Amino acid sequence: MAAVANRWGSVARRYACVLPSPNASRISIASLRPFSSSRDSGNVEPKGRNNSSVSRSPPSAFAETLSVEDRARYDSLSAEDRERFEQAAKRLRRHMTSPGVEGRLSAAVATAVHNIEMERPIIAHERFRGGGFMAMGEEDEEGTGPDDEFKEDDISSLAHAELEQHREMREYARLAAWEMPLLSKLAKPFVPPSKDQPLQFRYTTYLGEEHPAEKKVVLQFRTKDMPDLTEVQRDKLIKLVGVRYNPETDVVRMSCEMFETQAQNKRYLGDLVDTLLREAKDPTDTFEDIPLDFRHHHFREKPRFPRHWRMTPERKEQLLALRKERELSDQQRAAEGKLLDGVAMIEKSLAAQPAISTPAMEEAVALRGRGKGKTKLRR
């Protein structure tokens, strides 16, 4: 308890005096030189003293108990200050070792030890958080900070994820039950496009995510469906669109994805079609001297089922009549004995052939069944 008193008395000792330590290291008086204001004080001894023998007072018992720093400070004081230093140190020691102060110090020390023991797991967790031993003492780059202590009053992170998924499923179930039936009020009947709507636009939508290809708009139309076009104007339109024309289906196909939104790309395609129609109807130059060029399209002949192979009611009756005629012919030939039976002919030919027997075959028959191993035939 004296050591504890000495340790806690260091705070008060800063203002009153330096409390001596019983286990402090000692320092020799000879190593301390007297104070001097001269520049070469380290080489010149003070006047009135003999360089060969210096008379110094022996250290007291109190000075022997001081540490190196306290001993140097003690030796730098005058005789009166040393006496006051010793008296203040003795009073402080008696005060710190009194029963009341000693009890309060013991309680304070016990509380401090308990707090340190409780904070030790958190400190260890902070030191070894993240990269293990090699990252001990490093700053937390993610900025998450230390985790709260788990007090058995919550569920795990995996259980929280399952609970969040359950909440999401219930949210969609509520939408399907309460809000989706209201969409029927906005339903419109399908009306097929009329002849004055020959343009067909196609959009691409990626549900639930943003995609750079969803801004693309594709336009297609048939040249024969365009109103108020003569044959010469139609040929000029085909020559203007170039490789975008399919001569087999008579469909012009073009797309646009230059702008950020689908509405802008659709508007651009619509304006482009208006420009093509205006140029096709321009009588200044009809392009009649330019032949149609379909080298960009590869014509492929698709095999078609022959028309005369199709099963018609007349063809079905003809096949039934042919089968019935063959059955009557076979019955008549069987009654006359002219119908040949293939199975009977094979059995008759086998019975007429003589039995062939060779020494090798006889040996194979004799060795058959003599064990499970393979039998080699002699040649």
**Is residue 217 a part of any domain in this protein?**
yes
Q: How confident is the model at residue 325 (pLDDT cuts 50, 70, 90)?
A: very high
Instruction: Check which CATH number belongs to the domain holding 212 and give it.
Output: 3.30.160.20
**Is residue 221 a part of any domain in this protein?**
yes
**Is residue 285 a part of any domain in this protein?**
no
Query: How many structural domains are present in the chain?
Result: 1
Handedness of CA 81, 82, 84, 88 (dihedral sign): positive
**Is residue 186 a part of any domain in this protein?**
no
* DSSP E strand stretches across the chain: 200-203, 217-222, 245-246, 251-256
**Is residue 3 a part of any domain in this protein?**
no
- pLDDT tens per residue across span 57-103: 556 777 788 888 888 888 888 888 888 888 888 888 888 778 777 77
Residue 27: predicted pLDDT: 39
Between 339 and 287, the more confident residue is 287
- pLDDT tens per residue across span 234-277: 999 999 999 999 999 999 999 999 999 999 999 999 999 999 99
**Is residue 123 a part of any domain in this protein?**
no
Count the Cβ atoms, other than its own, within 10 Å of residue 243: 11
Count the Cβ atoms, other than its own, within 10 Å of residue 17: 21
Query: Amino acid identity, residue 37?
Result: S
Dist CA 102 CA 110 (whole Å): 12
Dist CA 204 CA 214 (whole Å): 5
Contact yes or no for 65/2 (Cβ under 8 A): no
- pLDDT tens per residue across span 115-163: 887 766 555 555 444 455 555 566 655 555 556 676 777 888 899 999 9
The predicted model gives 218-238 an average pLDDT of 94
Supply the range of the domain harboring residue 226. Answer: 200-280
Listed residue (187, 285, 199) closest to 239, CA to CA: 285
Lowest mean pLDDT: which of 112-121, 307-316, 324-333, 355-364?
355-364
Rounded to 5 degrees, φ, ψ at 112 are: -65, -40
Rounded to 5 degrees, φ, ψ at 149 are: -70, 130
Residue 352: predicted pLDDT: 84
Dist CA 301 CA 308 (whole Å): 19
- pLDDT tens per residue across span 172-203: 999 999 999 999 899 999 999 888 899 999 99
Handedness of CA 223, 224, 229, 234 (dihedral sign): positive
Average pLDDT, the chain: 78
Residue 247's contacts (CB-CB under 8 Å, 6 or more residues apart) are 294, 297
**Is residue 106 a part of any domain in this protein?**
no
| Structure token pair of residue 271 | 């304006």
Residue 301: predicted pLDDT: 86
**Is residue 220 a part of any domain in this protein?**
yes
Listed residue (273, 269, 276, 296) closest to 202, CA to CA: 269
Residue 24's contacts (CB-CB under 8 Å, 6 or more residues apart) are 65, 66, 67, 68, 70, 71
Contact yes or no for 215/196 (Cβ under 8 A): no
